[in-house]
Structure formats: structure tokens, C-alpha cells
Amino acid sequence: MTTPFARTRRMGWWYVAEHRIRAMRNYIGSFFIIGLGSPVLYLLGLGAGLGVLVNERQGAEAIDGVSYIEFLAPALLLAGVIVSAAQESTFGVFGGFKWTPIFLGMRDTSLTPRQIVTGFTVGTMARYLPASAMYLLVMYNFDIVNGWRPLLLLPIAALLGLAVSLCVMAWVATQKDDRGQLSFIERFVITPLTLFSGTYFPLETLHPGLHWIGWISPLWHSVELGRLVSYGSEQHGWLTLVHIAYPLALIVLGWVLSVRHFTKRLQS
């Protein structure tokens, strides 16, 4: 017979995720507005407004061989993911140590720091994956995408979300006081990444001296993958592998560092 302790050893991470999902139910309304409403508004505003201008000037299929809205739509989905993932890892993680110290409560049980890190990050997926799925439905509805391939946007979103969650978490877990540096992440990391990761325009449009921002940005890699699956953008096979491997590498790095910082903070 499996003992409860053996179950926690195996499934402890899931119990943490379960806890997070339960707590998120209180914010379901605002999460949907941020996670779904905001990209849809951007899509309508940019696609129907800016898109008309772009298509007029550049021709209807001039950007990556498709219309502006087709080019933009997958990128907006993924940009929404990094905003939600980063927010949750910033305020959720800092709060979990300081404001509502749930991590200290978890520490006093048979959970390990690894399970807390894994469970928290998996729980965060409940914030951006359902919103991404709804947004994808909107894309299908507007005939921006069709066929089954665009469904792969969801695993791409999961990969990107985990990479961002874990990297942000690794840093936030080292922060003992909030002196305004927490909002730095959103303003000076996430926002610039969305602007310079080929989200609203192809990376090649930028000055070559700025291309490195795209290369180090997990968003750019995921957006490239997203465009491949939503309208079959042209891409070298080896580059596709890089676009998959890069977020995976960030996931591993972010997890290892997060576990190290959580362990240091929770056990002395």
C-alpha cells in the first residue's frame, strides 16, 4: 500500500499546483481580461487599424508572405503569455515569501523546495494556457488560421511560459525587499522584449546592431515557431530546432537556479 509520504514524494509538485489553481479562482475575471481581452484588443486595434495601413503601403501579402493580421496574431498570443507568466512569477513569488508567506507554510510540510518550484510554475500555466486557447479560438473564428497545425501554438505557449516563469522566479527568489525593483521586470525586461522580438514587425526590419535582442529573447524564438505552425513561414530546419532548444535550455537553467534560491531561502 502506498503511504501518504510516498505519495507526496511522487506527487508533491502537483499538490502545490493544485493549491495555486484553487487560489487563482478568485482572480479568474481579471486574469481573463488581461490574458484574453488584452491580446484580442491589440489584434483588433492593430490588425484592423495599423494592418490596413501596412497592407496598403506594402501590399496585402508583403510581410512574410501573409497579411499583417496573420503575421501579428500568433505573436500577440505569445506576448500575452510572457506578460502573465512574468507577473505571476514576480508578485506571486515575492508575495509567497513576504506578503502571504505560503512558501513558509509549504516548507513546514513534507514538500521539498524542488516540488514547490515545479508546482508553482505548473500552477501558473492555468493562468495563461486557457486564455491562450480562447484567443486561438478567436483566431480560428476570424479565419486568421485554419487546419490543425495552429493548435501547436499551445505547446509553444507552454514552453515559452515555463521558460519565462522559471527565469523570473530564479531572480525574484533572491529579492528580500521590494524597493520598486519588482516592477522593473515588466517595464524594462518584458515590455522591451515584446517590442524588439519581431512581435509587431520582422526582426530584420531592425538595425542589425539590435538583432541580438531577438536572439536572446525567448519570445522571438517562440514567435518564429508560432509563425511556422500558424501559416507555414519559411524557416531552415536547424533554426526550428534552435527555436525549440532555446526555451528548453532556459527552463532547465531557470529551474536549477530557482531550486537553489528557494532552498537557500527556506532552509538555513
Partner 1 sequence: MPESHIIAEGLTKRYGDFAAVDGIDFDIKAGESFGFLGPNGAGKSTTMRMIAATSLRTEGRLEVLGLDANENGPEIRSMLGIVPQADNLDEELRVRENLYVYGRYFGLPRAVVNERADALLEFAQLVEKKKARVDALSGGMKRRLTIARALMNEPKVMLLDEPTTGLDPQARHVLWDRLFRLKERGTTLVLTTHYMDEAEQLCDRLVVVDHGRIVAEGSPASLIRSYSTREVLEVRFGTDKNEQAAKTIEGIGDRVEVLPDRVLVYADNGEQALSAVTDRGLQPVTSLVRRSSLEDVFLRLTGRSLID
Query: What residues form DSSP beta bridges with 63?
Result: 66
Verify binding: residue 26, partner 1, rule CB under 8 A: yes
Verify binding: residue 3, partner 1, rule CB under 8 A: yes
Query: What residues form DSSP beta bridges with 65?
Result: none
Verify binding: residue 177, partner 1, rule CB under 8 A: no
Applying CB under 8 A, among 87, 90, 112, 124 the residue interacting with partner 1 is 112
Question: What minimum distance in Å lies between the beta carbon of 258 and partner 1?
Answer: 18
Q: Which stretch binds partner 1 (CB under 8 A): 97-105, 132-140, 223-231, 252-260?
A: 97-105
Verify binding: residue 266, partner 1, rule CB under 8 A: yes
Verify binding: residue 265, partner 1, rule CB under 8 A: no
Site for partner 1 in 52-71 (CB under 8 A): none
Q: How far apart are CA 143 and CA 205, in angstroms?
A: 27
Question: What minimum distance in Å lies between the beta carbon of 9 and partner 1?
Answer: 7
Question: What minimum distance in Å lies between the beta carbon of 136 and partner 1?
Answer: 29
Verify binding: residue 186, partner 1, rule CB under 8 A: no
Verify binding: residue 22, partner 1, rule CB under 8 A: yes
Determine how many CB atoms are found less than 10 A away from the CB of residue 257: 18
Question: What minimum distance in Å lies between the beta carbon of 97 and partner 1?
Answer: 10
Site for partner 1 in 219-248 (CB under 8 A): none
Applying CB under 8 A, among 30, 45, 48, 100 the residue interacting with partner 1 is 100
Q: Which stretch binds partner 1 (CB under 8 A): 1-9, 65-73, 154-162, 190-198?
A: 1-9
Residue type, 200: Y
* Interface positions with partner 1 (CB under 8 A): 3-9, 11-12, 15-16, 18-19, 22-23, 26, 100-102, 104-112, 266-268
